[in-house]
Amino acid sequence: MSDQLDIKTGWLDRETLDNIRANVPLVYVDAVPVRVDELGNVTRVGMLLRQAADGSLSRMVVSGRVLFGERVRDALLRHLEKDLGPVALPQIPPNPAPFTVVEYFPDPDVSGFHDPRHHAVSLAYVVPVSGDCQPTQEALDLEWYSPADAVSEAVRRQMTGGHDRLIRLALAHVGSLP
């Protein structure tokens, strides 16, 4: 097993990960970064531009796997810092609770959430960020939208995999769906 799992990082080698993806649902986190006003109302929704699992360039939320032995809160923080930069200053409570659970399937007709690589179960969160966000690594761009623009047809056309639905669910959860 030591040659399959890098104990320091929790990453599996490609062959082992592909085998697991073919046979076991993986745990992920989805984080919808938002800016809020002094009353806690969502004023902006952050979306990354990156290459999606299907190969397209898409607007999407922060997303990634929970590693073996990693707390969900730590996975959220790791992915937010990886995608938004180290000074995004996400405000994650000590015991975060997801606003919904999303199941991604290789077949887009099963749930409306699609990932051609595997079946993934994702815990979804709305996360206020207060710092300076600079997209890093795989993200090509980070754009901030008003809640109305985030659910507009023009922005929805830029999304794949069901992320447009996830944005609507997130905004509805915080009472900001136009």
pLDDT per residue over 139-148, tens digit each?
789 999 999 9
Task: Give residue-wise pLDDT tens across range 79-119.
Answer: 999 999 989 999 999 999 999 999 999 998 999 999 999 89
Q: Name the residue type at position 81.
A: E
CA distance 99 to 173: 7
In the CATH scheme, what is the code of domain 27-173?
3.90.79.10
Please tell me what DSSP assigns to residue 79. Answer: H
Pairing of strands 57-60, 62-65: unpaired
Choose among 124, 132, 129: nearest CA to 171. Answer: 124
Residue extents of the structural domains in the chain: 27-173
CA-to-CA dists, residue 100 to 51, 168, 174, 175, angstroms: 24, 12, 12, 15
